[in-house]
Chains A and B, each alone.
Chain A
Amino acid sequence: MIPALLILLSFQLAGEVAARSLGLSLPGPVLGLVALVLSCSLRPALAERLRPVVLGLLGNLSLFFVPAGVGVVAHLGEFRSDGLAIAVALMASTALAIAVAALVFVQVVRLTGRGKAEVQE
Chain B
Amino acid sequence: MTDAALIWSYLTQGPLLWLTATLAAYWLGDSFFRMTGRKSWANPVAVAVIVLALVLWSTGTSYKTYFEGAQFVHFMLGPATVALGMPLYDNLSRVRRAALPLAAALLAGSLTAIVSVLVIGKAFGLSATMLASLAPKSTTAPVAIGIAEGLGGEPTITAVLVLLTGMFGAIVVTPLLNLLRVHDWRARGFAVGVAAHGIGTARAFQVNETAGAFASIGMGLNAVLTAVLAPLVLRLFQ
CB-contacts of A28-71 with B (<8 A): 28-30, 32-37, 40-41, 47, 50-51, 53-55, 57-58, 61-71
* A106 contacts chain B at the CB level, 8 A cutoff: yes
Give the distance in Å from the alpha carbon of A94 to the alpha carbon of B185 in the complex: 19
* A88 contacts chain B at the CB level, 8 A cutoff: yes
Give the distance in Å from the alpha carbon of A71 to the alpha carbon of B199 in the complex: 20
List chain A residues, Cβ under 8 A from B224.
Answer: 26, 30, 33-34
Give the distance in Å from the alpha carbon of A98 to the alpha carbon of B23 in the complex: 33
* B132 contacts chain A at the CB level, 8 A cutoff: no
* A120 contacts chain B at the CB level, 8 A cutoff: yes
Distance in Å: Cβ of B93 to nearest Cβ of chain A: 11
Contact between chains at A32 and B81 (CB < 8 Å):
yes
List chain A residues, Cβ under 8 A from B223.
Answer: 30, 33
Known contacts A69-B49, A70-B53, A93-B117; decide if A99 and B86 are in contact (CB<8 Å): no
Distance in Å: Cβ of B74 to nearest Cβ of chain A: 4
CB-contacts of B1-53 with A (<8 A): 22-23, 25-26, 43-46, 48-49, 52-53
Contact between chains at A115 and B185 (CB < 8 Å):
no
Dominant SS at the B interface?
helix
Contact between chains at B73 and A120 (CB < 8 Å):
no
Q: Report the contact-size class of chain B (Cβ under 8 Å from the partner).
A: 35 or more
* A95 contacts chain B at the CB level, 8 A cutoff: yes
* A72 contacts chain B at the CB level, 8 A cutoff: yes
Give the nearest-CB partner of B173 in chain A: A98
User: What mask results when residues 79 to 104 of chain A are scored 1 for a CB within 8 Å of chain B, else 0?
Assistant: 10010111011111111111111111
Q: Report the contact-size class of chain A (Cβ under 8 Å from the partner).
A: 35 or more
Contact between chains at A72 and B156 (CB < 8 Å):
yes
Give the distance in Å from the alpha carbon of A26 to the alpha carbon of B223 in the complex: 10
Contact between chains at A90 and B164 (CB < 8 Å):
yes
List chain B residues, Cβ under 8 A from A2.
Answer: none
List chain A residues, Cβ under 8 A from B186.
Answer: 105, 115, 117-118
Give the nearest-CB partner of B182 in chain A: A102
CB-contacts of B71-99 with A (<8 A): 71, 73-74, 76-90, 92, 97-98
List chain B residues, Cβ under 8 A from A88.
Answer: 120, 124
Choice from A5, A34, A90, A106 contacting B182 with Cβ under 8 Å: A106
List chain B residues, Cβ under 8 A from A53.
Answer: 83
Question: What 10 A-B pairs are tightest by C-beta distance, nearest first?
Answer: A71-B156, A101-B109, A27-B146, A85-B124, A36-B85, A67-B70, A68-B159, A29-B81, A97-B195, A102-B191
Given A27-B81, A27-B143, A98-B194, 19 more A-B residue pairs with CB atoms under 8 Å apart are: A5-B79, A25-B231, A29-B143, A65-B163, A68-B158, A69-B46, A70-B53, A85-B124, A89-B126, A93-B112, A93-B120, A98-B192, A99-B180, A101-B106, A105-B102, A106-B182, A106-B184, A109-B184, A120-B188
16 contacts between A and B (CB under 8 A): A8-B83, A27-B146, A40-B89, A66-B22, A69-B46, A88-B124, A90-B164, A94-B172, A96-B116, A101-B218, A102-B105, A103-B187, A104-B105, A104-B108, A108-B105, A118-B184
Which A residues form the contact surface with B (CB < 8 A)?
Answer: 5, 8-9, 11-12, 15, 25-30, 32-37, 40-41, 47, 50-51, 53-55, 57-58, 61-75, 78-79, 82, 84-86, 88-106, 108-109, 112, 114-115, 117-120
